[in-house]
C-alpha cells in the first residue's frame, strides 16, 4: 500500500506540473472537470486519513472535523465537484462565490500564477452560474454534511448598487440556508467594485435584522487590507450582532504585476495579522477559520496557535497537487511531535499565552 501510495503521489505531482504548463484558468478548469468526472477514481485514488485522529477539531456551527483542512471558496464556484474535492481528503468544503443572477465575471486573462513566490493573482469578478443553477446542483448531490460539511459563499452581482446590495445577500441566504451547513457573506473580494465598502456596522446590523433566525449559520469573510481600528470595529459588530463566525482572510489587493487579489505565500503575514487583531477583540469567543498563505503543516499550526478553529486552502492545491492534504497533515504531525503537542486543539490560542 505504501509503495502504491508513493507512486500515486508521484503521478499526482507529475499531473500537477503538467497542468501548470497551461495558462492558469485553463488549467484550473481542466482540473475541476477531472474532479467532477465520474471516472476520477482512476487518477485520484482516495487516501485514508484516519491515522491523523489527534488533529480533529470541533468548529462551532460546523461540527467535528476529522482534521482542520478545508477547501476555500473560489476553487469550485458553481459546486461542480464537491465529491471530487472530498476524495482529496478535505474535511470540509466551501463553494462559491455565488451571485443571485448569472454573470460572466471580468474579461480574460484574469488568473495568473507566480511559482517562484508560490502565489496567485486573480481578478475573476464573481463569475457565477447564479443561485438558481447552483441550488439545483446542490439538491442533486443530496450532500451528507456528516461526511464533510459544505458551506456556500455568497456575493452580490456586479451591476447591483451598494444601496441594494443587501438584497443580493439576503437572496443568497434564503436560497442556500437549508442546503448548506453554513453560509459565508463575502464583502471582501477586491474584484467587485464597491463590495468592500459594505464592510461597515450599518450593513452588518441590517443583515442581522433581516436574518434573525439564521445568525447561527452565517459567517463573514473579511479582507486583510483594512486599517486596524476599522477592522476591529467590524469584528465587534459581527460578534455583537450574533453571527456565527469569521473567515480570515480573503485575498490582498494588488496592482502589480497584475491588478487583482493576491493569494498564496506572500499574504501569509497579512492573514496572520488579521487573526491576531481579531483575537484582541473576541478572545476566542468568535469561531474563526483561517485562509491565506497556508502551504505547509507549520503554516497550519501557526494559524491554530493564533486562534483558528480550522483552515482553508487554495494555492496549496495548485502548487502541491492532489495529495496536498496528505502532505500537509504529515508535516503538521511531525511538527506537533517536535513541539510535544498531543492534540491540535490544545494549540488553539497558544500564541497569546
Identify the CA nearest to 90 among candidates 71, 72, 64.
Answer: 71
Q: What does the pLDDT read at residue 158? A: 97
- What are the cell numbers at 281? 477583540
Name the percent of the chain in helix, strand, coil, to the closest 5: 45, 15, 35
- What are the cell numbers at 97? 462565490
Q: What does the pLDDT read at residue 11? A: 46
Q: Which helix (H) or strand (E) holds 44?
A: none
Q: What does the pLDDT read at residue 124? A: 97
Q: What does the pLDDT read at residue 333? A: 97
Task: Give pLDDT tens digits along the chain (353 positions).
Answer: 445 455 555 445 555 666 767 889 999 989 999 999 877 666 665 677 888 999 999 999 999 999 999 999 999 999 999 999 999 999 999 999 999 999 999 999 999 999 999 999 999 999 999 999 999 999 999 999 999 999 999 999 999 999 999 999 999 999 999 999 999 999 999 999 999 999 999 999 999 999 999 999 999 999 999 999 999 999 999 999 999 999 999 999 999 999 999 999 999 999 999 999 999 999 999 999 999 999 999 999 999 999 999 999 999 999 999 999 999 999 999 999 999 999 999 999 999 99
| CATH code for the part of the protein at 47-352 | 3.20.20.70
Q: At which residue does the C-alpha cell 485514488 appear? A: 45
Catalytic residue numbers read 189
Q: At which residue does the C-alpha cell 464592510 appear? A: 199
Q: Name the burial class of residue 29, with classes exposed (0-12), middle (13-18) and buried (19+) by CB atoms within 10 angstroms of its CB.
A: middle
Helix axes 24-36, 2-19, angle to 10 degrees: 140
Q: Where are the domains of the chain?
A: 47-352
Cis peptide before 109 (omega within 30 of 0): yes
Amino acid at each position: 500500500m505504501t509503495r502504491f501510495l508513493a507512486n500515486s503521489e508521484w503521478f499526482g505531482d507529475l499531473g500537477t506540473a503538467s497542468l501548470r504548463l497551461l495558462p492558469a484558468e485553463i488549467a484550473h478548469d481542466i482540473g475541476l472537470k477531472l474532479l467532477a468526472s465520474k471516472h476520477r477514481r482512476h487518477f485520484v485514488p482516495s487516501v485514508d486519513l484516519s491515522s491523523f485522529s489527534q488533529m480533529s477539531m470541533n468548529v462551532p456551527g460546523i461540527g467535528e472535523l476529522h482534521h482542520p483542512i478545508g477547501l476555500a471558496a473560489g476553487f469550485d464556484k458553481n459546486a461542480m465537484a464537491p465529491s471530487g474535492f472530498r476524495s482529496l481528503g478535505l474535511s470540509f468544503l466551501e463553494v462559491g462565490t455565488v451571485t443571485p443572477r448569472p454573470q460572466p465575471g471580468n474579461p480574460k486573462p484574469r488568473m495568473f500564477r507566480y511559482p517562484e513566490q508560490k502565489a496567485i493573482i486573480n481578478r475573476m469578478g464573481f463569475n457565477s452560474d447564479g443561485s438558481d443553477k447552483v441550488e439545483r446542483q446542490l439538491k442533486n448531490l443530496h450532500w451528507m454534511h456528516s461526511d464533510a460539511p459544505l458551506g456556500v459563499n455568497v456575493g452580490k452581482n456586479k451591476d447591483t448598487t451598494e444601496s441594494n446590495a443587501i438584497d443580493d445577500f439576503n437572496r443568497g441566504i434564503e436560497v442556500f440556508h437549508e442546503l448548506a451547513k453554513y453560509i459565508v457573506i463575502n464583502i471582501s473580494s477586491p474584484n467587485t467594485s464597491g463590495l468592500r465598502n459594505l464592510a461597515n456596522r450599518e450593513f452588518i446590523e441590517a443583515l442581522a435584522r433581516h436574518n434573525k433566525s439564521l445568525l447561527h449559520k452565517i459567517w463573514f469573510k473579511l479582507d486583510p487590507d483594512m486599517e486596524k481600528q476599522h477592522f476591529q470595529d467590524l469584528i465587534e459588530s459581527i460578534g455583537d450582532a450574533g453571527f456565527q463566525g469569521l473567515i480570515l482572510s480573503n485575498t490582498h489587493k494588488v496592482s502589480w504585476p497584475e491588478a487583482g487579489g493576491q493569494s498564496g505565500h506572500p499574504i501569509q503575514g497579512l492573514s496572520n495579522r488579521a487573526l491576531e487583531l481579531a483575537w484582541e477583540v473576541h478572545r476566542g469567543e468568535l469561531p474563526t477559520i483561517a485562509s491565506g498563505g497556508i502551504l505547509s503543516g507549520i503554516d497550519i499550526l501557526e494559524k491554530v496557535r493564533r486562534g483558528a478553529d480550522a483552515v482553508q486552502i487554495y494555492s496549496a492545491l495548485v502548487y502541491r497537487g492532489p495529495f496536498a492534504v496528505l502532505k500537509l497533515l504529515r508535516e503538521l504531525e511531525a511538527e506537533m511531535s517536535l513541539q510535544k503537542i498531543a492534540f491540535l486543539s490544545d494549540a488553539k490560542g497558544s500564541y497569546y499565552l
